[in-house]
Amino acid sequence: MEWTAKKKSARTPETGELPRGGPEKGGRHAGALAGLGAVVALFCLRAYHVGTVNEDAYISLRYARNLLNGDGLVFNPGGEPVEGITNLLWTLAVAAGSWASGLSLTTVAPVLGTICGVLTLAVAYRWCQKELAANGFSSGAAAYTALAAPLLLTLAPGFAFYSSSGLEVTLFALLVTGGLYLLSHSGSLRRYALASLVLGAAALTRPEGALVLGLGAAAALLRPGGGRLRRTLASALPGLLILGGVTLWRLYYYGSPVPNTFFAKAGEAAVVEDWGLPYFEAAAADLWFHGAWVFALAGAVLGRDALARNVAALSLVPLWTFYVVQVGGDYMPLHRFFLPILPVAYVLLVPGVALLARAVSDLTGFRWLVNLATVSLCALAVAYVVDTELPEHLEVEEQRKEDTIGWTAYRSSVAGWLDSQDPDALVAANAVGAMGYYSETRVLDMLGLNDAHIARNGEEDPEAPPGHQVGDADYVLSREPDYIIFYGIKPAYRVGETSPYFLSDRQLAGSPEFQRDYELVEVDLGEEGEITLFQRSEEAG
């Protein structure tokens, strides 16, 4: 493998980009492809080892189930349509996969997520390889060095874990990575338009994708060369048409241009200090995306047109960090909200380190010594991660899997009991994922994620975890639910014995109307423990 600069390739006159078949041509080395296959196998093994459907994923699966049953894309069939999901495209994709394959939704979702994870690794490898080649590295150096990007993703805590969780994390990461890759190495208006379509799909997978779409259009505008207006329109209009069309559909179907979760998750300024900043600090320490960004920026300054080529990708990390901090981060472990930007950060990290090493070797003249030192430091860094950091993260992933299996088993048992007692009952609860998916009963989401009134009018508690800060006991009681389940795994607490956790629970516990109209019920579920809930008394009517 030779770290030698190749003769600078000719640039297209309009965009200044490398034409197809540039210096990376011929870089498909069998050993590098075998290495990529080994990384993919390791990723799939990790995903399988810690894979289980997440509690929040069951909310999307309930929407998908109702859609397949002909009841529409709703949480409660026959009720007010509310978009209680933030992953529209993912929910539709899982529903389509189940319909086409005949497999259950709980099977399709983890498999589809793992496939998206594998594709993300492939795109990250290809982008990293092309970036190295565009900066003059030989085809062999580019092919083998680029393996570092997918390997870092595979070892990153949470990336493999969430790929098999039933959530949209890896689909979103794939679309963001793919869209920015197309933008970085676009040599025609067609590729700009394709990038816009991909980023438009990302905006349908997560609302935050609209930020990336805007970055792409801004990058096309700032890019040197002729035809700026055409590039900007090509990189903006296709994605905006997709987003605009879906927004109109949302207004027609749900009566809101944004998902209901936008209102339920909006917090106060205190959320930034109490949740957002600590979330960023923990994620940065474990995922090291901020350090990767520094090396990527340094490499872009040293590289051949790299700064202009990757302006959107380089802007993503600080912009995304600002956004995540503002919304307070996420309550889930392993830094879920930062995982979609990891492929971009790691892709640009690798050429950044390589370009810095080349700059030092050019200055000193000791190319072989610098290359040896670089490889040795990288090997020591990987060894350190594998020996010290990775075991701790694997333990967290495995423990979370065991906990989730236990929670799901319990909540599915609760769902079965509710269906056996009264399938037409209205059940008010906070944890409505697995219970809602495995039950046919109507569910009142006391956190407001699937209830428009609570999301928009409920009182907020900034001290509660993000996405769990809204409550409205008066509204809950006005709906006269047949059962109310306070937050708890097994068993739930009794009023007056343990402090209720979520705001709605605390409000209900202090309500005279609740204490008058509801009575405590305990049901033995055998191996799954017991249900502790509150049933509306016959005297309440």
Across 143-147, 303-307, 392-396, 424-428, the highest mean pLDDT is recorded for 424-428
Amino acid at 441: T
The SS3 of residue 92 is helix
Residue 317 pLDDT? 94
Instruction: Describe the chain by its helix, strand, coil percentages, rounded to 5.
Output: 65, 5, 30
Give 62-84 pLDDT, tens digit per residue.
Answer: 999 999 999 999 999 988 899 99
* pLDDT band at 11; cut points 50, 70, 90: very low
Its pTM stands at: 0.90
Largest CA distance in the chain: 90
Q: What percent of the chain has pLDDT over 90?
A: 54
Domain ranges for the chain? 30-364, 402-540
DSSP string, 85-100: -S-HHHHHHHHHHHHH
Nearest to 517 by CA among 493, 485, 541: 541
More confident residue, 381 or 466: 466
Beta-bridge mates of residue 386: none
What distance in Å separates the CA atoms of residue 242 and residue 429, rounded to the nearest whole number?
Answer: 35
What distance in Å separates the CA atoms of residue 493 and residue 23, rounded to the nearest whole number?
Answer: 65
On the CB side of 515, CA atoms within 13 Å amount to: 9
